[in-house]
Amino acid sequence: MDEKVHLVPTGYELDRVLWGLEYFGVTRLYLIRNVEEAESIVEDYVEKIKTRYADLVEHNKLQEVFINTMDVSEIFNTCKTIIETEALKNQVFINISSSNPLTSTALVMTAWCCDITKMKKPPTIYFIRPRQYACDELSHFSKEIAPLLNNFKSLVKEKPEELHAFLQRFHNFLSAIEDKGLSWGREGIIAIPYMPIKLPSEFEMELLAYIESFGGEVKNIQALVDGLKKPTTYKHCKDPNIALRAKVTYHLRNLESRQLIEKIPNMKGMRIKITPLGKVFVTPRILKKVKED
């Protein structure tokens, strides 16, 4: 039987996490957590999830994955491995409504870059639209506070019940955040279409890895050609150097059009620099080579 595997970033949301798990069902859960100390304030939310799904905890089917959720490359590398591994046999669900916008964007990009040929089914990416946001309610309280402060002394003496009523409502509001996060209720679930992105070819990955190994930049195309391993022969070309340069030039155009590298003109030609997006793609390859070595 297929498992229902969820990737859920933890943040300042609880209700939207639970809504997704209950709507789709869950048999395995990965909580994507931030390694920074600021993440400790959501520890209570995580404990509530563990309590709610104690059976998953008991059977070792709830895992906490600690990464830097402000690092696109780390999100991409870690979550891509989880998605492709789990999707071989199971249905994968990704909640993009429970964390910061950068993490959510990186998760969508990661899912789209997964190899569809290695997955039983494409991952289901979903967004929980809440019924109410805490920030909306907070703006109402903000408008009420000013007149209360201006008339605080008179309210304490003449209308203490009015002041008490306000403080009680504000306390209930803070309790709702503590219990449910920064939004609550469910207006609907929005499915994000799966749009597979074609990955760079093996040779293009080799080019990216070579550029990155030299600090992310090479001085010109010829320096890149000189550093690559040259085959002894090429079809339809007697000179391997000429053929390799033509091949490199062709694939660099592909990489540039996909914003994985940029060409920077200089006095000696054209410097080749890997972009932040290019680093996202090539990092797993470099890490794998280091482990093998």
Q: Which two tokens stand for residue 254?
A: 């592909």
- CA dist 192 and 110 (Å) reads 13
* Interval 196-253: pLDDT, tens: 887 788 888 889 988 988 888 888 888 888 888 766 555 666 677 778 888 888 999 9
pLDDT of residue 233: 55
Q: The whole model's pTM is what?
A: 0.73
The pLDDT > 70 percentage for the chain reads 91
Contact 225, 249 (CB under 8 A): no
